[in-house]
Amino acid sequence: MIIARRIIADIDQQGLGPGDHLPSEKVMLEQYQVGRGTLRESLRFLELSGAISLKPGPGGGPIVEKPEASHLMNSLGLLLQFEGARFATIVEARVGLEPVMARLAAERITDELRGRLAAAVATMREHTADLSVFLEANREFHNTIAWASGNPLFGFLIDAMDGVFAASSLGVDYPVQQRIMVLEADQAIFDAVMAGDPAEAEAAMRMHVSDWTRYLHAKFPAALAKPITWDGMQ
């Protein structure tokens, strides 16, 4: 862990980014004054953490990567399993967090994220009859709101929580009429964010996630009561 942290510190100090190569094993052994086994364990840990990739062959070696939310999702899934948490835990957390994100998004959203948000709403509107496309666009909508908050912790948290929920086979269904209601709610949030109205964005998101929670508790109580398990995350 000490060597892994030193490697990350050197990556930061040298201004390296995704795609940049780290020194060869020979150079790193001399630089960090450790044995080959210790260095390889350190690099393997960083690879599992998503900070680097290890490419074999000529031109390979350790390459800097950008960790993704999937790494947090896996850790979160493990932590929640060992706490005996149910899927209702994730729903409850989103009810508390997402209204704040929507408020901040109305204040801080960038032009790039405005475009992504508009595209997500348009996709939902065009594909209400296609459940998989609709749900993916809805997921993109909520993830974009989280990142538009300007707080990367919110972005990673929503990505990870949504991943834990979506990756499990819970049997939750959304009939067409329910999808239309979700679209109308997302449209209200979108309008408030685009208008730069923080209070309205927060209120619209609070209503949306509250309605979503009531729907799940009414229609799929068994799914919410199901314990989160790491092996259940597909």
pLDDT tens sequence across 75-104: 999 999 999 999 999 999 999 999 999 999
Do 75 and 57 belong together in one domain?
Answer: no
Between CA 11 and CA 18, with CA 12 as vertex, the angle to 5 degrees is: 60
Do 153 and 217 belong together in one domain?
Answer: yes
pLDDT tens sequence across 153-166: 999 999 999 888 87
Boundary residue ending a domain (64, 86, 101): 64
Do 26 and 121 belong together in one domain?
Answer: no
Residues of the chain with pLDDT under 50: none
Provide the domain limits for residue 50.
2-64
CB-based contacts of 111, cutoff 8 Å, min separation 6: none
Run of H or E including 54:
strand 52-55
Cα 184 to Cα 177: distance, rounded to the nearest angstrom? 11
Boundary residue ending a domain (64, 91, 109): 64
The CATH number for 27's domain is 1.10.10.10
Structure tokens at 69: 């939310």
Q: pTM, whole model, 2 decimals?
A: 0.84
- CA 68 vs. chain centroid, Å, equals 8
pLDDT tens sequence across 198-221: 999 999 999 999 999 999 999 999
Do 187 and 115 belong together in one domain?
Answer: yes
